[in-house]
Amino acid sequence: MTVSEPGSGRSLARPRTNWMSPADIITVSLVHLANRFNAEQDRWFLWSPVVLGAGIGTYFYLGQEPDWWPVVLPLVVGFSIAFWVGSARALAFALFVAIGIAGLGMTVAKLRTNWVAAPKLEKNLGPVVVEGWVDTLEQRGSGRIAAKISVIRIEKLAVEDTPARVQLTFSRGLAPARVGGAISVLAKLRPPPRPVAPGAYDFGRRAWFRQIGGYGFAIARPGIVAENQTGSRPWGAEAGAWIGGIRVAIAARVMEVVGENGGPVAAALLTGLRGGIPKSDLSAIRDAGLAHLLAISGLHMALMSGAAFWVVRILIASVPWLALRVVGKKWAAGVGILTAFVYFFLAGGSVATERAFIMVAVALIAVMVDRPVISLRNVSLAALIILLWKPENLIEAGFQMSFAAVVALTAFYEQVTRLKRKNDGEFSDFASKNITGVVLKTLAGIAATTLVASLATGPLAAFQFNRVAVFGLVSNLVAVPLVGFIVMPLGLLALVLMPLGLDGPALTLMGMGTSALVDIARSVAEWPGAAALVSSPPSLVIPILAFGGLWLCLWVRSWRYWGLVPIGFAFWLAGQNQMPDIYVDEQGRRIAIKTANGQLILSKDRGARYAASQWLRRNADPRDIKTATRDGSGSDPLDCDPRACIASLTDTSGRNYVFAYIRHAAAISEDCRRADIVVAQIPLYNRCVGPAIVIDRFDLSALGAHAIGLGDQGPQVTSVAAMIGSRPWSRKLPSWANRDRKPPQIRR
């Protein structure tokens, strides 16, 4: 192409180029993306729970409780514009529907938060008299009994300040005699616990959605409250207490028949009561990668309802007159749903059990209406129901791992089905006619299922629990068939025969299976390197990882492999996380500092043992508390006396800081004069003016546990209160406390 230069007769040749401008690149990329997106319209519905979850996650991520108008606005605007655009313009319609669904997620999350609102304790209380109904009783591994109490009244508390429920711990021999009775007990109470470190799991949030407003322990044997003093009780609570009594009775019967070896695990599988399992066995089961077998989840619900389904179907098929007049699989599906419903209540009706029941019920209803039983559409429908019913499930590890496994397995077998349709190989015919082929095919299926589920849930388990079961695939290859084909069917048979008193043989055989399960777990857990530890990642790692996994599983075409990019980025981001250099528990009873070798050194105090163990776990430190009070090099970086501890710390740029941990007022003058960072177990009353960062007992009590990181920008202080923000489940701050305070830089 040629053009003339202005004012002259010369022509200028413009060179041709194959380079596109940035605007052209963006335009072409968007068009390409839109075409791919439009080509998979049949998969759009699968993303509806993902978008709903994005709205729910946004609500829980906020640092302040939002007003109603910004929550409802995306819902109204999104669906309104989608209605105006119309479905003819598919891409625009899908975009605004997604905005509306995300707004729906925020709306239902806020509605749920307000719906469960109940008073909670803001400070320690007691000893006080607590009167209430016993809702549940569960044995702990230590021999103590944990009881959830629906409160009637609490001494020294006004009605409007009285929690709906409290959870009390009873020493051995002091526990209430039965579930459902009204008791009066002298107890010490405390508010729901806050996270042990900024970014750690928030037990207070879980307590809020379970309407537990206080925790404590009984200091005397409970008495019985007369019925005329308790008032009326809702029928739902009465039914729950009745079911709770049945659960306790079943667990006691299982322990009586099976014994101590396999009994606690058998009772956990049938009733969901896991407190009786010894800590050593729980640790072994976890390290062997078999912890999912103890959670009453989709696997157990499917095994129970599936066993009932096949028994009924075989019985109907064995009666020709009946088989010719009814559709056997539909009646069997109905019995399967009924079985799942009964098992749901026997297993405690927990969040995980609710999720499992909904998923199994959706699958069996699909059988009754002649729809595919296992499909991503059914999984999406179950997720929508669960998230709309209880949106707080989204941020629980159980929900994340359960759906990660189900989505990955369903997507995997959908792909296998497509490949089979394309390649009707000879192996399938051989495998269906030859016994050896059937066995090989079954083993291959178990191995593939275990591998896919492990790949889907392994990263989540590592980031949520800081632990990876290295040999989980091996142990599951043996344990899953044992539980699926022997233990759970025998458990169902025992439950059916228990009212008749004929459950002994079934329970005995079931106990043999659970004993073998525990032996497998112990053996695998003893292998060298059975459990690998992982430090806690930044909070955005799990959402990014989940998005990548969903992109990989929910799409069909080749662009689904783009999901590997956010997955890889999530792992890279997790590896870049810098853990804090100093930890302080919320009562100032214990501190931890990071040494030059990256390990934590704990102060030699007796308090805050749980917080200390969690600090070690979050830092992927395998040592116990006693060992972690000593430096492996033989030197002690914490120079302590009864009044205070002093340590010298170095940040990433090589700058040195003097850190002081003050226990006694006599150390204030000296340590505040030479330290850069001061943490005090006692109130300082503005007497420590030298250091740039000062945290005393008042700060800890108001703002919770603190963490201090020594980075290139100087020390950075983070508190639990700053991480949680001002939410209904967070504690109220005193007027003098500034939740969002920023520490000054170290003065040099």
Using one digit for the tens of pLDDT, what is the confidence trace for 480-529?
A: 888 888 888 888 888 888 888 888 899 999 999 999 999 999 999 889 88
Name, of 28-32, 65-69, 278-282, 324-328, the range with top average pLDDT: 65-69
Q: How many domains does the chain have?
A: 4
pLDDT of 485 = 81
600 and 713 fall within a common domain: yes
Residue 131 is part of a domain; what is its CATH number?
2.40.50.140
Using one digit for the tens of pLDDT, what is the confidence trace for 140-181?
A: 766 788 889 989 999 989 989 999 999 999 987 788 877 778
741 or 558: which leads in pLDDT = 558
Q: Is residue 8 part of a domain?
A: no
Query: CA-based angle 230:234:236, to the nearest 5?
Result: 135
pLDDT band at 741 (very low <50, low <70, confident <90, very high): very low
Last residue of a domain, one of 550, 575, 600: 575
Q: Is residue 694 part of a domain?
A: yes
C-alpha span between 202 and 615 (Å, rounded): 14
Q: Is residue 183 part of a domain?
A: yes
Residue 533: strand, helix, or coil: strand
553 and 670 fall within a common domain: no
The region that residue 536 occupies, defined by phi over 0 for left and psi between -120 and 50 for alpha, beta otherwise, is: beta
Strand arrangement, sheet containing 644-650: 639-640, 644-650, 656-662, 677-680, 693-695
Over range 528-546, report the average pLDDT: 89
Q: How far is CA 512 from the centre of its chain?
A: 31
- Burial class of residue 203, CB neighbours in 10 A (0-12, 13-18, 19+): middle
593 and 569 fall within a common domain: no
Instruction: Give the lowest-confidence range in 127-136, 178-187, 729-738.
Output: 729-738
Expressed as residue numbers, the domain containing 163 is 125-227
C-alpha span between 606 and 26 (Å, rounded): 61
- Burial class of residue 314, CB neighbours in 10 A (0-12, 13-18, 19+): exposed
196 and 65 fall within a common domain: no
Look at the block and give the residue holding tokens 């799990």: 542
173 and 102 fall within a common domain: no
Q: Of 228, 246, 140, 251, nearest to 182 (Cα)?
A: 228
Last residue of a domain, one of 526, 560, 575: 575
pLDDT band at 91 (very low <50, low <70, confident <90, very high): confident
196 and 217 fall within a common domain: yes
pLDDT of 739 = 46
> In this structure, what are the phi and psi dihedrals at residue 209, rounded to the nearest 5 degrees?
-75, -15
Q: Is residue 376 part of a domain?
A: no
Q: Is residue 482 part of a domain?
A: no
589 and 706 fall within a common domain: yes
pLDDT of 461 = 84
Q: Is residue 238 part of a domain?
A: no
C-alpha span between 345 and 270 (Å, rounded): 10
pLDDT band at 5 (very low <50, low <70, confident <90, very high): very low
Q: Is the pLDDT of residue 285 over 90?
A: no
C-alpha span between 136 and 716 (Å, rounded): 44
58 and 165 fall within a common domain: no
444 or 218: which leads in pLDDT = 218
C-alpha span between 98 and 92 (Å, rounded): 10
220 and 144 fall within a common domain: yes
187 and 80 fall within a common domain: no
598 and 703 fall within a common domain: yes
- Burial class of residue 115, CB neighbours in 10 A (0-12, 13-18, 19+): exposed
601 and 700 fall within a common domain: yes
Structure tokens at 648: 């010298």
C-alpha span between 407 and 374 (Å, rounded): 10
